[in-house]
Structures are given as structure tokens and as C-alpha cells.
Structure 1
Amino acid sequence: MKKYFPVYVRIPVLFAIFFMAMEFFIDSGDRPAFIKYPIVSMILLLFLFVLIAIEIVLKATNNILDALLTEEQRKQKEIEENLPLAETPFVKNLLQKLTRSRKMEEEGELMMDHDYDGIKELDNVLPPWWVYLFYACIAFAFIYLVKFHILGYDDQTAEFEKEMAEAKIAVEEYKKTAPDLMDKEKVTLLTDAASLAAGKAIFETNCIACHRNDGGGGIGPNLTDDHWILGGGIKNVFNTVMEGGRDGKGMVSWKAIIKPSDIQKVASYVLSLQGSNPKDGKAPEGDVWKDNSAPATDAAKPADSLHTAAVTLK
């Protein structure tokens, strides 16, 4: 039998089975159990070395015993070692134990009294392999019940949701240092509270010196009316903040200080100030700007139309 399953096959297979069982029974999250629990792994490695030592001892013992065999015994051993795998004593005994098959000559002992039109029935037992598999399923079901329904380990759905939540956090962390690919062609108006709050914080940090805290205008133009020097709308306002105002005068470029995705937020916040009419606001500058790409709206509500069209920075 060892001819077909040498030591360099038996031990790695046994070792792999141990690690697979370790992964199944130990909840290690997103890391392999043998890495998360190195002590257990070291115990298994130690066990592997013990197995190898036992194999070496058995090999040496067999060599000594072979030297004591007679010529006839050696020939018989060679014949057994050269038998096909299916005909080896080990495989035959194993199959007999797993199936409990009986010879054709022994059918008379198994015959039952049932007789239906000449059809008779044998009283064969269930194959042991089937019974063992049935018991293994019961054991597996018990382990599953205890692990997931009593001890509360995560099932596949919970593991998936947990991994997705961790992946989402990892993506957000990556975004903090990832190259920002937002540009004038991709930019869209943000209206959610979180983005506008972030845009307001950026505005209050960098823009109130020229535009006032309420956007009414100081050195820079009023951001709350419908007049724009370099065009309104999210794309124009984003581009103005990104690249700066007119050459030689106007606002400087902020792209070296504020990343594009944050410029999108502050531009969206500026647009949210439309129509707020702060006290003592600066007189309008530039031209009235309307978003020609926006769908037609009720002419009786021009203020609402301009507000939803998201007019932007000067």
C-alpha cells in the first residue's frame, strides 16, 4: 500500500486535512486561521515533524525485518507489493468493511421468506459506508447548529455584509490618498447635506476673506445673485475655482491647495447660496447667466428655475 501512497504524499495530505479543519472550525475573519493563530499552526507543524520521525523509525524497522526474512518470504512480499492497487489486501479488506458484500454462493443464507411471482428478496444490511456517511451528516449538522445558532458565529450572509462594510471603509481610506480624477467634464452638482456641509467648511476656511461669510461679496463679487463674470452653473464655477479668475486679476487658482473633489463640494455650496440675499450685499457684476442645458420650467417662477439650475461662482 505504501507503494501507491508514499510518505511524501501521506503526510502533506494529512497536514492539509488538519489545516482545512482548522479553517472550518475557527472563525478567523478575513485572514487565514493558521496566520491569525500561529500557536495552533506551530503545534500542527510539530505534529508533522513527529509523523516524519515515526515514518523514519518505521522505515528503519522494516529494513531490519526484511533482512531477517527467508527467501520464500521475500518472494511472497515482492508479489504482494507488485499487485494492482485494487487487488492489494488492504484495499480488499477496506472494501469488504465498507460494503459487507457476500459471495453469490452465500445468497441462500440471506434469502427471506417473501416470494412474489417468483421474485425473492435478500436480507442485505445497509452498506457500512452509507451508515458512516449518515452519521457524519448528523455530526456535521450538530456542529453547524452549535457553531451558528448557539455560539453565534457569522454565517455566509453576515460574513459577506461584514466584508462589504470593511471594503467600503478601505475604499474611503484609499480615496484619501488616491489620485483625484474629478474634472470640469465629470463634475456634477451635489445636493446632499454632508457634501454641502463639507463645502461650507472649505468655503469658510478659504473664501470668506474675499466673498464674506454669507457670500455677499467683499473684494470678490457677490455669490448670491444671478450675475456671473465667468459664467454660472456647476461646470463653470468648478472651473473658475480650479483654474482661477481672469489673467492678472480676480481669484487665484485653488487646484494646488484644494483637491478637485473638494472643489466640487465648495462649488455646490456656493450654488446653494443663490437667492439668499444677504444684508448689504455687493452690487451685481458680470452678466445674468442661465443654464440653457436645463429643462424648460414654468416662466412664472424664474427664481426657482435659476436656483434649481445650480448657478455658480463668479
Structure 2
Amino acid sequence: MKTTASYLRVIGFIILAFFLLELIIDSGDQWAIVKYPIIWAVLGMLFFFAIALEIIVAALQRVLFDGLTGEAQERYLLAEKMREDNRFGWFKRKYKEMLDAKPVAKEQEIVLDHNYDGIRELDNNLPPWWVYMFYATIIFAAVYLVRYHIFDGTNQTEEYEIEIAQAKAEVDEYKKNNKDLIDANTVELLTDAGDIEAGKSIYIANCVACHKDSGGGGIGPNLTDDYWILGGGIKNIFHTISEGGRAGKGMIAWKTDLKPSEMAQVASYVMTLHGTNPVDAKEPEGDIWVDENAPVDNVDVKVIDSTTIKIEMTNDPVIDDIQAEGK
């Protein structure tokens, strides 16, 4: 028993030392024992120190015990036995109380008259721990009934919707603080003045050589009209900036030079150039691009005869008073 106690003390000491070292050593997001492998050596030294201490204490106890008289040794052993018997006495007593089981020697007191082929039945009491749990379930059911069926508490559907809304808010906040976690499929048009100004700065630093500062086009195509070679809209523009233009004759891929957040900013700025019609604009290239998700601007209904009508819906690419989703 003493050997087991010694093992437990040594293990507890090492665990305590480990957590104390992790607590007092600043290692950032990493475990201190991973960032500083020297801690393994420190724990090893503490381990041997704890073992040595246990050996020394055991040796001293043995020397002192051998120095006692025979009668004193008997009293010491009797006291140790009583101490072992009383160890965790409160827990042992509570354990027996929660079981409330009759000792085998007293089972004759609760034997019933039933006898089935020599099998007798005992009239044991229900264990108190089971009875208390049963009472607890009754109390819980009453509280639940009042909370959710009388006072109209939040039901599971509402809890789910609340958690979904909270999760969405957390995701939005995470994306807000990690703007580079975007690609051509998830990018969205930026409308904040700071983002547009940042996109303009990137455009002036990297794009004016081919597209001019007005966006009218030079070596590269005109960015202000309705014609696009690789498609317009924020997602197509972002993809073109990231992956580059047509192989062999398009612009280079900028994904190695610009962060995703910077490409989103410059793509959003390019869209603000749509419809500006600079005087030195280059001739259109590519095809007219119309956003399929854009609202219809005009609906023209014509009556051909009494049984036939013709409906024409147009989506004007350039609108003066609306910032369209452009290039």
C-alpha cells in the first residue's frame, strides 16, 4: 500500500510540475514543452528527485522503526492498520449508505416466503441513489413543463435558428477580420470608401500601364464599356486578376503579388469605372456582358393581335444614376 502511495505521489508531483511550467513559461499559442524541449530535461530531473526523496523518506522510516522496542513496533503497526482502515472513511460510509444493502450474514431477515425451485427472493430496499435520481427526474419534468409549456420557453426550432444566426454572425466577423479568406467563388463587391481607395492605389501602381489611369484601355482592353473578353462582374474580374488573362496574350496572374483582399479591392475599383466613358477610350473588345442576376430595367409589352402579345425585357448595361456591376 505504501509503495502504491509513493507511486501516486511521484506521478502527482510530475503532473503538477508540468502544469506549473506551462503556466509560468510564455510560449504563445504552442505548448511550452513543444516550443522549449529543454522542459523535458527539467521534468526528468524533477522525476528522479521525487523518486530519490521517496526512497530517503522510506529509508528513514525503516531506520526509525528498527530502533523501536518490540512493544513499540506492535503499537506502531496497530496504529498504521487503524489509519489504513479509517482512510477515506467518510466516502466508505456514504457509499454503504447510498447502497443500503443488507450484509450477506443478515439476508435471512429479508427473505420472502416465495420459493421457486429453491430460488428465494430478497425484499431489498431500492438503493437510495436510484430513489434520489428518480425524484430528480420528477422535479426536472415539472420544471420543464412549466418552463416550456406554460411560460412559452424557447423551443428546439427557435434554439436552432438562434444558433444558426449566431454562427453566421461569428463567420461574418471571422471573415471581416480575415479578409484574405476569399476566392473567385466567395468574393463580393466592396462598397466601402476605404476599400475603393485602396483598390485605386493598387490599380494606379500596377494597371495603368496597360489600361490607362482612366480605364479606357491601352495595351489592355477598355474597362469602362459593356464589352468583356473574359466576362464582367466582381467574380469574373477577380478571377482574371488572380489567374491572368488569355494564355500568351493576356495579362499576367497577380495572385503571387497581391493578396486576395487586395485583388477584391482592385476588382471593386475597376467596377466603379464602368460607364465613365473617358475621351480616349479604346474600341470595344469581346462581347457584351450582362449580369444574369441584375434587375430588369425596362419591360415593353406589345399587343400583336387579340390573342397574342409580345413582351420585350431589356437590361441596359450602362445606367447613369446606378453604379452597375461592370467590368
* TM-score of the superposed pair, with normalisation by structure 1: 0.50
Deviation by residue 1:99-146 (Cα, 9 ceiling, x = unmatched)? xxxxxxxxxxxxxxxxxxxxxxxxxxxxxxxxxxxxxxxxxxxxxxxx
Structure-1 residue corresponding to 2:221: 221
Q: Which amino acid aligns with 1:270?
A: V
Structure-2 residue corresponding to 1:70: 69
Q: Partners of 1:13 and 1:293 in 2: how far apart?
A: 65
Is the partner of 1:6 in helix, strand or coil? helix
Deviation by residue 1:216-274 (Cα, 9 ceiling, x = unmatched)? 2222232122333443222333344345445654x234256445724333222211111
Q: 1:52 to 1:284 in 2, by over 3 A?
A: closer
Q: Which moved more, 1:251-260 or 1:46-55?
A: 46-55
Q: 1:279 to 1:46 in 2, by over 3 A?
A: same
Q: 1:307 to 1:235 in 2, by over 3 A?
A: farther
1:198-209 aligned at under 5 Å gives the runs 198-209=198-209
Q: Which amino acid aligns with 1:200?
A: K
The alpha carbon displacement at 1:284 in A equals: 3.8
1:88-107 aligned at under 5 Å gives the runs none
Structure-2 residue corresponding to 1:61: 60
Q: Which amino acid aligns with 1:233?
A: G
The alpha carbon displacement at 1:191 in A equals: 2.4
Structure-1 residue corresponding to 2:98: none
Q: Aligned pairs, how many?
A: 224
Q: Partners of 2:53 and 2:246 in 1: how far apart?
A: 85
Q: Partners of 1:22 and 1:247 in 2: how far apart?
A: 57
CA contact (8 A) 2:211 2:217 kept: yes
CA contact (8 A) 2:296 2:315 kept: no
The alpha carbon displacement at 1:196 in A equals: 2.7
Q: 1:234 to 1:80 in 2, by over 3 A?
A: same
CA contact (8 A) 2:241 2:255 kept: no
Q: Partners of 2:187 and 2:47 in 1: how far apart?
A: 60
The alpha carbon displacement at 1:59 in A equals: 3.2
The alpha carbon displacement at 1:211 in A equals: 1.0
CA contact (8 A) 1:238 1:267 kept: yes
Q: Partners of 1:247 and 1:46 in 2: how far apart?
A: 64
Structure-2 residue corresponding to 1:191: 191
Identity of aligned residues (%): 39
Q: Partners of 1:20 and 1:197 in 2: how far apart?
A: 50
1:1-314 aligned at under 5 Å gives the runs 3=2, 6-10=5-9, 13=12, 56-83=55-82, 85-87=84-86, 182-183=183-184, 185-246=185-246, 249=249, 251-255=250-254, 257-258=256-257, 261=260, 262-297=262-297, 302=316, 303-304=318-319, 307-312=322-327
Gaps of 5+ in 2: 36-41, 91-169, 300-313
Q: Which amino acid aligns with 1:199?
A: G
Q: Partners of 1:247 and 1:15 in 2: how far apart?
A: 63
The alpha carbon displacement at 1:22 in A equals: 9.2
CA contact (8 A) 1:290 1:306 kept: no
Deviation by residue 1:5-63 (Cα, 9 ceiling, x = unmatched)? 73443465467668878999x89796799989xxxxxx999999988776555433322
The CA RMSD over aligned residues, in Å, is 5.0
Q: 1:191 to 1:290 in 2, by over 3 A?
A: same
Q: Partners of 2:70 and 2:186 in 1: how far apart?
A: 88
* TM-score of the superposed pair, with normalisation by structure 2: 0.49
CA contact (8 A) 1:243 1:255 kept: yes
Whose RCO is larger (CA < 8 A, sep 6+)? 1
CA contact (8 A) 1:243 1:253 kept: yes
Deviation by residue 1:61-91 (Cα, 9 ceiling, x = unmatched)? 3222222333333333333333463437x98
Q: Partners of 1:71 and 1:285 in 2: how far apart?
A: 111
Deviation by residue 1:156-192 (Cα, 9 ceiling, x = unmatched)? xxxxxxxx9xxx8xx859x6xxxx7723x33332223
